[in-house]
Structure 1
């Protein structure tokens, strides 16, 4: 009796698993394609391995600099103006934003109009929190190898 019950249970699990797995996979494909259409510039159906929200706050000669963008990497996308370039530069420093080099051959005016950059999210599935105040918007861009130029 136990052997028969075990065989029947195994057959039932296999039969159920065969019908549930394709439905779940179809649901995931639909969710992934919906997410891809919601994020600009991402590859269709692919989930980004890294997702960062970058916020710039401060002021400039022309007024407020408050702005927020998203950066998705692997594959590159989001609302950042140059996601491929930004992802490559962040990857070069293994996601350590405080180690981004200055952009070479560029200078900024010595004007004190402080700008704070805050970055939160994940880089290659590791949590990220970065915040730094720069002397002005130009310094934020040049000081981050143009990653924070948005």
Structure 2
């Protein structure tokens, strides 16, 4: 139960820090005009050990903002944003690469993604068999 509470607290604090400033962004310009021509794209990606986010032990959390430019604490923000744009923001479309061979060792890791992609709410969770399998999906989005 303590891990679940810690995981939830970590996710909530990170999401608030990244997405909180976005809530008023559409009204920030003069006379109600948008402050930016770009729809907001800001995500919080988390990684934990376990079969699901509810029981996972938190390991890492990174932020990724893709509009108007790539930024955040993600180690390859520009590549991750380009990959997400190529997939139309569909995290399910990221598939395993053929050039990676992973062992069949079962040491589950769970990735969650929460935030906003081009103005639309995103909530995603996926459990991978091990770290190698996670890193084989896409090129850079899940490698943090």
Give the TM-score of the pair, scaled to structure 1.
0.62
Partner residue in 1 for 2:23: none
Please say if residues 53 and 121 of structure 1, whose CA atoms lie closer than 8 Å, have aligned partners that are also in contact: yes
Query: In the alignment, which residue of structure 2 is the partner of 1:70?
Result: 63
After superposition, residues 107-118 of structure 1 pair within 5 angstroms as 107-118=101-112
- The 1:99/1:53 distance shift into structure 2, 3 A limit, reads same
TM-score by length of 2: 0.65
For structure 2, the 5+ residue unaligned runs are 1-27, 30-34, 51-56
Report the CA distance shift for 1:146/1:139 in structure 2 as closer, same or farther (over 3 A).
Answer: farther
Deviation string 1:38-69 (CA, Å, 9 cap, x unpaired) is xxxxxxxxx8821000000017xxxx771000
**Can you give the 5+ residue segments of structure 1 that lack an aligned partner in the other structure?**
1-23, 26-31, 33-46
Greater relative CO (CA pairs within 8 A, separation 6+): 2
Higher helix share: 1
Q: Which has the larger radius of gyration?
A: 1
Moved more, 103-112 or 80-89: 103-112
> What secondary structure does 2:89 align onto?
coil
RMSD: 2.6
